[in-house]
């Protein structure tokens, strides 16, 4: 049982914050805005820590890509029970252009370097809603994937994943090493207790640059414009069914 | 020696984030009910223990968290933003009970009580009586010595945490002829025969925190249950209350901040005469004044905490912090109700509870008058050359 689990944790704008688009429409306002760990990443960390508590895996390594502040997110993972962290330093323009393709290249490189048996990620980030990183990482590594996991069961050198899909639940069995992405109902993340916050201060965070991993961060996407969603128009009340039909015809809906 | 408090907060912010989340999710939903029923939800107490918040400064070898006094202050402040009653439970445990055991306990006493205080047992501090509040040392509870045990008779009043406490630290006099030099601190377990916990008070505020009278009817306590030395109880009480004062200051700061935080969004939304009421200059000036007082109270509190941690003299600063923070809590909560208008006056909004809760700050753990008298003693000394 020398299994090592890599967990990706992304620093995103806190879910409770009211998002504002920048006046120049190039993005959203992030300066001075509260950031936290992506909620699905919290669920991923919790699952990894639970596996370790059941003594099914040996080490949980939390990874985050971004500027200096990414270390705060790693510290939260450490306070939840991760053993150590890896901060992949990406800042400036590279950070602005960092997307699922770049992150999955980084994770793939790290997974090989760190002899990983399992990569657990959140299914998507609440800022870009891409839902791609897990899938791309698995493809780059040529590993099997169990996405939208609502249950994970380790069975020797295999892992059974129950996936939430449109039609209901699908059960797959993957041969490790594998990639799993966490969905909402996988678990309820624990609060970091004060003793664990204290312990986390002593845990190690290694800093590495993408170049050292041989990763090219070039983006093939360009964000042209960011706009607020259209303002919701007020509805209209009608008195009779006849009126409803005539209004719908007028609006070209019938 | 002044210590710049705010800049030293690096590394504590993780604690604040986690505390906010915990308090919002686990405690906030229960606050209103606990206030109405005048009862602490046992799940909250269990959560405090599970999160390691009841043994903050206790060494990990005894099952504690092994964090600093300043961490305790931050925890108390964050809890008070959500419920000052929960904050005071945590404050008494950490700044009074645990500290007394850690500083004065024999190894046997520490091994017996610290692990339980860290993980599952609440403690109570019993000093005040019906006839002795500020005049604490005129207490009448008597402990008569027999061979290797004492018999305690008397009663205590206004004892916080009493409903849930498993252990009581009782100040009783072993030798009334020696006056206050006979006061001794006894460890009394809850199930000791003769110890009766009276009905809890029906209070204006801090209602979820149980405040009960205690009766001691020939309570037999072994000599080994003396904490520290016989006749030194008065010193221990003063010492602990000097530190506890900072905890109460933190509670008042948190209370004021929690109230303020829930009021400003309303003021920003409420529109009258075509604009937000926040945009009226009269409102802006009042709000800024309160915010400044709050910040000052916080800095006084943090400064006192840092001085204590650094082993420097801190008593005057602790008194100033507690006195000022209680005043600021009164000012803030009163103003917040006004800014909220009619809704501030209803129980459907959390503001009126903060207003009721704040008043005890000027009364317990040393009344405002006592704080002011103590501060003046220091000033007198300082200017005597």
Q: Which residue of B has its CA nearest to A35?
A: B17
Q: Scanning the structure block, which residue is given the tokens 């206030």?
A: B35
Q: What is the pLDDT of residue A2?
A: 64
Asked if A205 has any chain B CB less than 8 Å from its own CB, the reply is no
Q: 3-class DSSP state for residue A145?
A: strand
* Cβ separation B71–A201 shorter than 8 A: no
Contact B75 A192 (CB under 8 A): no
**Closest chain A CA to residue B58:** A195
The reply to whether residue B67 touches residue A75, judged by beta carbons under 8 angstroms, is no
Neighbour count for residue B187 (Cβ, 10 Å): 22
Is B15 part of the contact surface with chain A (CB cutoff 8 Å)? yes
How far is it, in rounded angstroms, from Cα B334 to Cα A144?
61
Contacts of A192 in chain B (CB under 8 A): 14, 18
Q: Is residue B71 less than 8 Å (CB to CB) from chain A?
A: yes
A29/A10 Cα distance (integer angstroms): 17
**Residue in B17, B25, B52 nearest the CB of A194:** B52
Nearest to B14 among A79, A191, A195 (CB): A79
Of the candidates B13, B26, B56, the beta carbon closest to that of A194 is on: B56
Chain A within 8 Å of B63 (Cβ-Cβ)? no
The structural domains of chain A, with segments of one domain joined by +, span: 4-226
Q: Does A79 touch chain B (CB under 8 A)?
A: yes
Determine contact, residues B299/B320, Cβ cutoff 8 Å. no
Q: Say if A191 is an interface residue toward chain B (CB within 8 Å).
A: yes
Which pair of tokens denotes residue A33?
Answer: 């805005």
What CA–CA distance (Å, rounded) separates A71 from A89?
10
- Contact with chain B for residue A192, Cβ under 8 A: yes
> Binning pLDDT at 50, 70 and 90, where does residue B345 land?
very high
Superfamily designation of domain A4-226 = HUPs (3.40.50.620)
- Using the 8-state DSSP alphabet, how is residue A167 labeled? T
Q: What is the reported pLDDT for A252?
A: 86
Q: Could you tell me if B21 lies within 8 Å of chain A, comparing CB atoms?
A: yes
B13: confidence class by pLDDT, cuts 50, 70, 90: low
CB contact under 8 A, A201 and B11: yes
The verdict on a CB contact (< 8 Å) between A198 and B66 is yes
pLDDT 10s digits, B196-236? 999 999 999 999 999 999 999 999 999 999 999 999 999 99
Is A197–B14 a contact, with Cβ atoms under 8 angstroms apart? yes
Of A36, A72, A193, the CB nearest to B50: A193
pTM for the model stands at 0.88
Rounded to a whole number of angstroms, the distance between the first and last alpha carbons of chain B is 17
pLDDT computed for residue B385 by the predictor: 65
A173 by DSSP, 3-state: which? strand
| Confidence (pLDDT) at B1 | 38
Selecting from A75, A191, A193 the residue whose C-beta is nearest the C-beta of B14 gives: A75
pLDDT at A235: 82
pLDDT tens track for B52-81: 999 999 999 999 999 999 999 999 999 999
C-alpha to C-alpha distance for A123 and A43, rounded to whole angstroms: 10
- Give the alpha-carbon dihedral of B369, B373, B374, B375, to 10 degrees: 100
Mutate to test the interface with B, among A39, A71, A75, A195 (most CBs of B within 10 A): A195
Q: How far is B220 from chain A (nearest CA, A)?
A: 37
**Which range has the worst mean pLDDT, A155-164, B1-10, B46-55, B89-98?**
B1-10
pLDDT score recorded for residue B201? 95
CB count in 10 Å sphere of residue A55: 8
For residues B35 and B70, give the distance between their C-alpha atoms in angstroms, rounded to a whole number.
Answer: 28
Which residues of chain A register pLDDT less than 70? 1-2
pLDDT tens digits along B296-340: 999 999 999 999 999 999 999 999 999 999 999 999 999 999 999
Q: Max CA-CA distance within chain A?
A: 72
Q: pLDDT at residue B378 above 60?
A: yes
Rounded (to 5) percent helix, strand, coil in chain B:
60, 15, 25
ipTM of the complex: 0.78
B67: nearest CA in chain A?
Answer: A198
- What is the predicted pLDDT for the residue at A253? 82
Would you place residue B17 in the very low, low, confident or very high pLDDT band (cuts 50, 70, 90)?
confident
Q: What Å distances lie between residue B187 and A38, A223, B97, B170, B262, CA to CA?
A: 48, 68, 10, 6, 41
Task: Mutate one of B17, B78, B269 to test the A interface: name it (highest A CB count within 10 A).
Answer: B17
Say yes or no to pLDDT of B8 above 60. Answer: no
Residue A50 has what pLDDT? 97
Residues A146-187: tens digit of each pLDDT = 999 999 999 999 999 999 999 999 999 999 999 999 999 999
The separation between CA A88 and the C-alpha centre of its own chain, rounded to angstroms, equals 15
Average pLDDT over residues B248-271: 97
Closest-CA distance, A138 to chain B, in angstroms, reads 33
* A204 in contact with chain B, both atoms CB, cutoff 8 A: no
Query: What's the pLDDT at B15?
Result: 86
Rounded-to-10 torsion of CA B104, B109, B115, B118: -40
């Amino acid at each position: 049982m020398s299994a090592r689990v890599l967990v990706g944790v992304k620093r995103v704008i806190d879910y409770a914050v009211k998002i504002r688009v920048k006046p120049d429409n190039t993005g959203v306002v992030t300066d001075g805005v509260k950031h936290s760990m992506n909620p699905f990443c919290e669920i991923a960390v919790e699952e990894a820590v639970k596996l370790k508590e059941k003594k099914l895996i040996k080490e949980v390594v939390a990874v985050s890509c971004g500027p200096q502040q990414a270390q705060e997110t790693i510290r939260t993972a450490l306070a939840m029970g991760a053993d150590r962290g890896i901060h992949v330093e990406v800042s400036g323009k590279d950070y602005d252009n960092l997307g699922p393709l770049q992150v999955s290249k980084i994770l793939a490189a790290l997974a090989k370097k760190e002899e990983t048996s399992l990569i657990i990620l959140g299914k998507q980030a609440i800022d870009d809603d891409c839902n791609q990183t897990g899938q791309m990482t698995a493809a780059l590594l040529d590993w099997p994937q169990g996405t939208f996991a609502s249950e994970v069961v380790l069975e020797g050198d295999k892992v059974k994943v129950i996936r939430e899909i449109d039609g209901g639940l699908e059960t797959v069995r993957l041969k490790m090493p594998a990639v799993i992405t966490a969905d909402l109902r996988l678990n309820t993340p624990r609060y970091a207790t004060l003793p664990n916050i204290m312990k986390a201060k002593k845990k190690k965070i290694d800093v590495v640059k993408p170049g050292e991993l041989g990763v090219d961060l070039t983006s093939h996407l360009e964000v042209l414009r960011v706009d607020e969603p259209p303002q919701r128009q007020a509805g209209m009340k009608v008195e009779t069914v006849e009126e409803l039909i005539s209004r719908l015809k007028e609006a070209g809906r019938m | 020696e002044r210590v710049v408090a705010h800049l030293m907060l690096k590394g504590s912010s993780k604690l604040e984030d986690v505390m906010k989340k915990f308090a919002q999710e686990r405690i906030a939903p229960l606050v209103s009910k606990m206030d109405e029923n005048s009862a602490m939800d046992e799940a909250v107490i269990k959560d405090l223990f599970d999160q390691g918040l009841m043994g903050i400064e206790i060494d990990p070898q005894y099952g504690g968290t092994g964090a600093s006094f300043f961490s305790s202050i931050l925890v108390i402040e964050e809890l008070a933003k959500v419920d000052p009653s929960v904050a005071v439970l945590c404050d008494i445990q950490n700044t009074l009970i645990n500290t007394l055991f850690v500083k004065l306990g024999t190894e046997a006493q520490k091994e017996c009580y610290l692990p339980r205080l860290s993980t599952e047992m609440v403690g109570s501090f019993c000093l005040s009586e019906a006839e002795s509040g500020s005049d604490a040392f005129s207490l009448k509870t008597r402990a008569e010595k027999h061979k290797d045990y004492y018999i305690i008779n008397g009663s205590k009043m206004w004892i916080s945490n009493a409903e849930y406490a498993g252990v009581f630290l009782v100040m009783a006099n072993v030798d009334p002829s020696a006056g206050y030099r006979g006061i001794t601190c006894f460890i009394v377990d809850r199930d000791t025969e003769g110890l009766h916990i009276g009905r809890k008070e029906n209070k204006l505020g801090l209602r979820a925190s149980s405040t009960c009278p205690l009766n001691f009817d020939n309570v037999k306590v072994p000599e080994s249950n003396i904490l520290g030395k016989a006749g030194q109880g008065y010193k221990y009480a003063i010492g602990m209350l000097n530190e506890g004062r900072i905890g109460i200051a933190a509670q008042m700061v948190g209370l004021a901040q929690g109230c303020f935080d829930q009021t400003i969004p309303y003021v920003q939304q409420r529109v009258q005469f075509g604009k937000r009421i926040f945009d009226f200059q009269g409102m802006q000036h009042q709000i800024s004044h309160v915010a400044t007082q709050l910040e000052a109270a916080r800095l006084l509190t943090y400064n006192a905490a840092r001085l204590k941690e650094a082993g420097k003299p801190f008593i005057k600063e602790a008194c100033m912090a507690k006195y000022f923070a209680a005043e600021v809590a009164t000012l803030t909560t009163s103003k917040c109700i006004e800014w909220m208008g009619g809704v501030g006056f209803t129980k459907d909004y959390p503001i009126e509870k903060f207003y009721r809760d704040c008043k005890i700050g000027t009364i317990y753990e040393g009344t405002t008058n006592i704080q002011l008298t103590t501060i003046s003693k220091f000033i007198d000394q300082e200017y005597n050359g």
